[in-house]
Every structure is written in C-alpha cells, then in structure tokens.
Amino acid sequence: MEHRNHTDVSEFFLLELTDDPELQSLLFLFFLSMYLVTILENMLIVLNVISDSQFHTPMYFFLSNLSFTDICLSTTTIPKMLMNIQAQNQSITYTGCITQIYFVLFFASLENFLLAIMAYDCYVAICHPLRYTVIMNANFCGLLILVSLFISLADTLLHSLMGLQLTFCTNLEIPLFFCEVVQLIKLACSDTLINNILIYFASSVFGGIPVCGIIFSYIRIVSSVLRMPSVDGKYKAFSTCGSHLSVVSLFYGTSFGVYISSALTNSSRNTAVVSMMYTVVPQMLNPFIYSLRNRDMKGSLRKLIRRTPSL
C-alpha cells in the first residue's frame, strides 16, 4: 500500500449524506434551518445578557459564554457540510481538516468545562446561598473562564500538533460529516501509539474532571435540597438547576451515544448520524431549554426582539 506524508496529502473526503439529488436538497434546507435557528437563538441569549442589567449575574455570565461557544461549535462543522451538499463534493483540504479538528476539539472541550463551572455555580447558590456573592465574585468567575480557555487551548494544540506528524495511506475517507481527530488517527499508516495514549489521557483527565465535578455538585445539591423542610424551598432549589441539568443530560447523553454507536455498529453512516446529534442538536436546544424554563429570560427576550427593528 502506498504511503504518503502529510505534505503529499492535499485533501480528505467526508461522508456523503446521500446520492439522491432530491434528498440532498431537503437535507440542505433542513441543516441550514437548524444552523440558522442555532445562531439566532444563541445570539439572542448573548445580546440579552449583555443588554439587560438584571442578567449581570454569574449564572447568566456563564450562560452567555456557553451560547457563544455553541455558536462557534456549530459554525465549525455545519457550513462546510452545507457547502459539500450544495457542491456535491465531499472533499476537504488537508489544512481545512486539521483546522476543523482544532476548533471542534477546542469548543467541545470549552463547553465541557463551562457545564462543570455552571454546575459549581448551582451548588454554591443552593448549598451556600448566604456566601454566594462572596464566593462567585466577578474576579473568580473571570478566572474560571480564563483557566477553561487555557486548558482547552493547550489540550487542543497538543492534539493538533501530534496530528501533523501523522503519515497517511491511500484511504483518505473520513466516515463522518466533519474531520475528527480519532477518525484521522485511524487513517494513519504511521505509528499512532502516542496519539492514542494522548487521547485516552486527555479524555480521562480533561473530560473526567469536569464530569466528576458535575456529579459531586449534584450529589451535594440533592443532599441539601432533601434536608429542606419547605416544599416550596425544594421546588425553587430544583428550578434553579433544572435547566442546567437538562443541558448537561443532552450534551453528555449525545456524547455517550457517539461512542456507544461506534463501538456497537460497523455502519459508518449510523455513527455519523449520531455524531451529528452531538455537534448540532445540543447547540440548538440549549437556548430553548433556558428561555423556556425561565420567565424573566422569556420576558426580556420579547423586549429585545421588539426593540430590534427600531435600531
């Protein structure tokens, strides 16, 4: 089998959704609609938090960062997929593939940390309400975001640099709608031991720590809520973290589904569909979950929309 180093590889080929022209048009409109809704919803959340002083709190500060991250993650994958459907050409350049891998990893990692930070925010609000403003001060909130950005950047940069060292065979077909680091490693002809060790290590540390933090936070939250004598107090406490818990379940549920699907099925198309759920659906539903469950957010969004035409 012919080997090529990365300087010889000019492009990879992504999975084709369908070869039916009519179905391609429907899929193009479907994913374009999802993308536009995702951008609009998340942008409204960001603008609403910035413009309305009642949302200048740690919870909404983290929510606006989550919405911005969702915009970026969706923009990293969907536009290229739409271009490929429209052009009926599934190729992506080598540079474009590495760049896409970098940003997918970066924003997915950042979202992982943001969900953990938001779980901690819920924990402090419910378990230490009297000290909430002291603990979750502006400097500490900013520091949490900066640390998350730094860790995500370092982890992603390391994966990308290791990917640049790979050499590839004649098979350059990636069985997903976007470039993903694990699938890229599977195509390599060179030794990938270090790359695989790095992926398992990074997933265990940078993925495991936020997940453990979320689990610990909710164990403490449930324990604290169950000790409350008032039913109204329990309902208010669960309402405080209900939206976040829904978003966490959606994000990690779809993420878990990707790995289960890839392990249990040999169909690349099934795995690709599940991966699309992971990279598209949570980003579209997150703003809907928060705005639907939050009366203040819904009212403020209506005011913002009414003001927009007059700008």
Which of residues 286 and 38 earns the better pLDDT score? 38
* Residues 10 and 93: beta-carbon distance below 8 Å: yes
**Total residues found in the chain within this entry:** 311
Average pLDDT in the chain: 82
Q: Which residues lie below 8 Å from residue 121, measured CB to CB, with a gap of 6+?
A: 58, 59, 62, 136
Euclidean distance between CA atoms 211 and 115, whole angstroms? 9
Predicted pLDDT at 162: 84
Name the CATH topology of 11-310: Rhopdopsin 7-helix transmembrane proteins (1.20.1070)
Pairing of strands 173-174, 91-93: unpaired
Instruction: Write out the two tokens for 22.
Output: 């009519």
Annotate 283-308 with three-state secondary structure. HHHHHHHHHHHCHHHHHHHHHHHHHH
- The SS3 assignment for 158 reads helix
pTM for this entry: 0.86
Query: Confidence band (pLDDT; 50, 70, 90) for 14?
Result: confident
Q: Which residues lie below 8 Å from residue 183, measured CB to CB, with a gap of 6+?
A: 174, 175, 176
Predicted pLDDT at 1: 42
Q: Is the pLDDT of residue 304 over 80?
A: no
Most confidently predicted of 111-120, 175-184, 297-306: 111-120
Q: What is the pLDDT of residues 182-226, one digit of tens each?
A: 888 888 888 888 888 888 888 888 888 898 999 999 999 888 888
Lowest mean pLDDT among 66-80, 206-220, 282-296: 282-296
Torsions phi, psi for 229 (to 5 deg) = -75, -25
Residue type for 97, please?
C
